[in-house]
Structure 1
Amino acid sequence: MDTNTLKLLVKLTQEGQLSSLEELLTLGGSAAVQTVSSQHLGRSGDTLLHYAARHGHLDVVEYLVKRVGMDVEVYNNDYKRPLHEAASMSHWACVSYLLREGAEVDSLKKADWTPLMMACTRRNLDVIQELLCHGADPALRNKDGWNSFHIACREGDPLVVQHLLVVAPDVWRTDSKTRRTPLHTAAMHGCEEVVRILLERCGYTPDSTDSCGVTPFMDAIRNGHISVARLLLEKHQASPTAADIIGAHPVHQVAVTGQEEALRFLVRDLNVDVNQRATDIQLTALHYTAKEGHTSTIKTLLELGADLHVRDKRGRTALHMACIGQHADAARTLLQLGLKDSEDASGTTARQLAKKPDVVRVFECGLPHPS
């Protein structure tokens, strides 16, 4: 079968044009049917059954299985079966049909993802229920240690999360290979209603940490989810000043991500010290945000009382950090705000740390020289 004919078959399958697809295969005779039944196409190695399931064309799926004789367990280069495709795109009718035809409900694709995990990336409870009714195991974990509940908590559909807790009450008792819990995941993605459910129905320890020492509160606040952070404070006794394994506190993590409203919440509402030090080298939020090049956040920190002239353990100012990060705008802003270039404990000036041409030019435009 030539390449153009195969491309046409794929197009007809994707568009759900069953009659045209059937007519073309009939014209090709038994040889064409035999070729199509085992033909893997493109870089992905998809078959026509993968395309039909992905696009939700039940009549085409039935035709390919019953008339063409395609195997419901056929897999592509990523080991995805048609059931993975149908589940990932929330096509309930195709999912139901493939299961009735004997598709393995917990088949694994690359990275050990099951069809239920794929379904949980969407918010279609009917598809999830169909898989569960056929014996799907929500506790199975992929290569990263995530189970279906982790994924559902990331997507944030309260009905899906509640249903999984009903059918598998202990499914929340899991963490990933980096020790992240579903509560971390929901907090990070700002899924407030899901966080509320987890706090009410699950026994998470306050300020549980992942392998980096990050708590759910840190995940929420550094991503700007203030309402979630507030919920964790009120309902879970989260600490706004806990430190991760490198000694960074929420105020430092928020400075890294440049979440200015979250900074105001920490400093003004929770009375967190804006000049709080982190790690053995005594970095402040101003150091962190300068290294990331968040020019607007630098100004916000100063409004909140940050010390412009503070130095870390190595004698470096925020200007040194801006130049380490090669951020011209941040360096320029700090100089304009009155921070002069100076030597750190090793005798190195910020100017000497500038490597990129636009950062070097900041110091060649008549701005202050080392004091």
Structure 2
Amino acid sequence: MIRKILRNRIRNRKKQRNLKALLLRFLKPLPLWKNLSEKTRLKKTSDNYKTYKNTYLYDFALSSEETAAEEEKKPFTVAEPNSADKNGVTLLMKAAKAGNDWDVENLLKSGADPNLRDKDGWSALMYACRYQNSLNIVTKLIDKGAHIRVRNKYNATPLLMASDYSQNPQILKILLKDRTITEDEVYRAFIMTVTSNQGENHVKEAKMQVFLDMDIPLNRLWKGKTPLMYAAQYGTSTHIIKLLMDKGAKPGIQDHDGKTAFDYAKLNSNLTHDDIYWSLNSSAR
């Protein structure tokens, strides 16, 4: 502590000496003083110095808060916002994949095109939906014109990726805006949500609720099976089965081979044989 105080005192004395030299340099007598005696000129110069001797140059500097505020207002621009690597992955795609909100925003402000595609057909929005749960990034990309109804070379779309991987139901809401339950992609997204094994049950249920709020049909056969059959065949928890049945899914419906949801459940070793499991056996009800 004592060393710190001594260092500060030495630093202040140096500042005073530097300031004195600076002031003496600029407070030279004006030409009209030539007729004054040397003693008088020195006295006037000394009086001027006394006025400022307790003023330090850093007194005129902006405070750190003011400086930070000014810096924050300055837009950060990227010289080549659409530059990409050898695979066509742009800076915006990388920022979206990493979940870097700041980078995404500045790249978009710098003119980055959100609809560029890499060699596999991925867009920045696809990367955001597949690898992150940032509603902010998805919103920024869409607001800047990112296309929602696009597919990569694997036939995946932002909606399908979010249905399977995203742990943020709000992202699904945005992607489903202005979509209808009659669209095959929308129903496929619902099935992918039902069969997804990503995340916790309460998140999965919240994602399913987004589709249920659209009045998605629960007893429709999609590629030969109902949503309940898919949940029974691929699910790891009976929570989803219960949610579907509570919303009106019928366990007695048969597929083209005469199988019911319970027949699929019996082949799924991941399901707990609890009351919900046995309730699928419509013949026992």
Between the aligned partners of 1:198 and 1:262, the Cα distance in structure 2 is: 21
Q: Does 1:263 align with 2:212?
A: no
1:310 paired residue number: 253
Three-state SS of the structure 2 residue aligned to 1:209 is coil
2:139 paired residue number: 196
Between the aligned partners of 1:137 and 1:250, the Cα distance in structure 2 is: 31
Listed as ranges, the gaps of 5+ residues in structure 2 are 1-75, 198-203
- Do 1:209 and 1:215's aligned partners in 2 also have CA atoms closer than 8 Å? yes
Between the aligned partners of 2:170 and 2:86, the Cα distance in structure 1 is: 30
Distance of aligned partners of 1:285 and 1:171 in 2 relative to their CA distance in 1, 3 Å threshold:
closer
Measured after TM superposition, the shift of residue 320 of structure 1 is 2.3
1:180 paired residue number: 122
Between the aligned partners of 1:136 and 1:274, the Cα distance in structure 2 is: 45
- Do 1:153 and 1:186's aligned partners in 2 also have CA atoms closer than 8 Å? yes
Q: Does 1:163 align with 2:102?
A: no
Measured after TM superposition, the shift of residue 241 of structure 1 is 5.1
Distance of aligned partners of 1:226 and 1:338 in 2 relative to their CA distance in 1, 3 Å threshold:
closer
Q: Does 1:301 align with 2:244?
A: yes
- Do 1:187 and 1:219's aligned partners in 2 also have CA atoms closer than 8 Å? yes
Measured after TM superposition, the shift of residue 197 of structure 1 is 1.3
Measured after TM superposition, the shift of residue 240 of structure 1 is 5.1
Three-state SS of the structure 2 residue aligned to 1:336 is helix
2:228 pairs with one of 286, 298, 304 = 286
List aligned pairs for 1:1-371, cutoff 5 A. Answer: 138-142=83-87, 146-167=89-110, 169-170=112-113, 172-177=115-120, 179-188=121-130, 189-204=132-147, 206-222=148-164, 223-234=166-177, 237-239=178-180, 242-244=183-185, 249-257=188-196, 259-267=204-212, 269-279=213-223, 282-292=224-234, 293-329=236-272, 333=275, 336-337=278-279, 339=281
Three-state SS of the structure 1 residue aligned to 2:241 is helix
Distance of aligned partners of 1:221 and 1:166 in 2 relative to their CA distance in 1, 3 Å threshold:
same
TM-score (structure 2 length as normaliser): 0.59
Measured after TM superposition, the shift of residue 312 of structure 1 is 1.9
Query: Which of structure 1's runs of 4+ aligned residues deviate more than 6 A?
Result: none
The root-mean-square deviation of aligned C-alpha atoms, in Å, is 3.2
- Do 1:218 and 1:253's aligned partners in 2 also have CA atoms closer than 8 Å? yes
Between the aligned partners of 2:221 and 2:155, the Cα distance in structure 1 is: 17
- Do 1:283 and 1:312's aligned partners in 2 also have CA atoms closer than 8 Å? yes
- Do 1:150 and 1:185's aligned partners in 2 also have CA atoms closer than 8 Å? yes
Between the aligned partners of 1:136 and 1:183, the Cα distance in structure 2 is: 16
Distance of aligned partners of 1:147 and 1:261 in 2 relative to their CA distance in 1, 3 Å threshold:
same
Distance of aligned partners of 1:201 and 1:306 in 2 relative to their CA distance in 1, 3 Å threshold:
same
1:15 paired residue number: none
Matched to 1:138, the amino acid is S
Matched to 1:312, the amino acid is D
1:99 paired residue number: none
Measured after TM superposition, the shift of residue 196 of structure 1 is 1.3
- Do 2:84 and 2:91's aligned partners in 1 also have CA atoms closer than 8 Å? yes
Measured after TM superposition, the shift of residue 266 of structure 1 is 1.0
Between the aligned partners of 1:328 and 1:226, the Cα distance in structure 2 is: 24
Distance of aligned partners of 1:314 and 1:146 in 2 relative to their CA distance in 1, 3 Å threshold:
farther
Three-state SS of the structure 2 residue aligned to 1:199 is helix
Length, aligned pairs only:
201
Distance of aligned partners of 1:249 and 1:239 in 2 relative to their CA distance in 1, 3 Å threshold:
same
Three-state SS of the structure 1 residue aligned to 2:93 is helix
Three-state SS of the structure 2 residue aligned to 1:277 is coil
Between the aligned partners of 1:257 and 1:315, the Cα distance in structure 2 is: 25
Between the aligned partners of 2:192 and 2:218, the Cα distance in structure 1 is: 12
Distance of aligned partners of 1:181 and 1:319 in 2 relative to their CA distance in 1, 3 Å threshold:
same
